[in-house]
Chains A and B, each alone.
Chain A
Amino acid sequence: EAQVTQNPRYLITVTGKKLTVTCSQNMNHEYMSWYRQDPGLGLRQIYYSMNVEVTDKGDVPEGYKVSRKEKRNFPLILESPSPNQTSLYFCASSLSAVAHTEAFFGQGTRLTVV
């Protein structure tokens, strides 16, 4: 089954403790991205990757890192999480960055930083 898989689904952590949210897709998609969803703000892009070893900042990259060592995986790293990073996070992938291509989303990771 074609899917984007994120782990974990739920995470509660303390300020400053490094964490990684994993994202994996099985569709051989080139383009992957991370979004955060906050009430009243909709979805905002954090980082994106056009292909292996090619990543770039989205609209709200501060406090986040990503890597794309393999085509299928695109982990999101929070080196020193802070409470303002409490949010619902989604990983998405699409075949390419061409305008008409559909994005597939993971189930989401609800992160709470205390």
Chain B
Amino acid sequence: GNSVTQMEGPVTLSEEAFLTINCTYTATGYPSLFWYVQYPGEGLQLLLKATKADDKGSNKGFEATYRKETTSFHLEKGSVQVSDSAVYFCALRGSGGSNYKLTFGKGTLLTVNP
């Protein structure tokens, strides 16, 4: 079945530091890849997505590139802010058969200090 592995947290950074959260996946076919963010006390919201190999998703200064050769979708941001403190989930959705569900990684807690 499909699976997503993302780096364990927590991650603690100072404001304006560079962020990388690693994500790798296992899936058959051609899945779509997502990063969701969960701010404290809230539900998940889509941060960015990529639907085919070499696509780059971007939003709010975050970026991730769909790398089929390394089955990866690492999240990066050049300069984090305190307001980026949240839990980040990498996820995939399969492309056929009964793979309708979103499969999530376990989440990475990011704390950004002033």
Contacts and interface: CB of A to CB of B under 8 A. Distances in A.
Interface in A9-47: 31, 33, 40-43, 45
B43 A99 contact: no
B101 interface: yes
Interface string A53-75: 00000110000000000000000
A97 B100 contact: yes
Contact of A106 (B43, B46, B105): B43
A39 B8 CA distance: 12
Contacts, number: 58
A58 B8 CA distance: 25
Range of interface residues on A (Cβ < 8 Å): 20 to 34
Contacts of A4: 43
Contacts of A78: none
Contact of B100 (A31, A42, A104): A31
A107 interface: yes
B93 interface: yes
A89 B102 CA distance: 15
B49 interface: yes
Interface of A: 4, 31, 33, 40-43, 45, 48, 50, 58-59, 90, 92, 97, 99-108
Interface of B: 30-32, 34, 36, 42-46, 49, 51, 89, 93-96, 99-102, 104-107
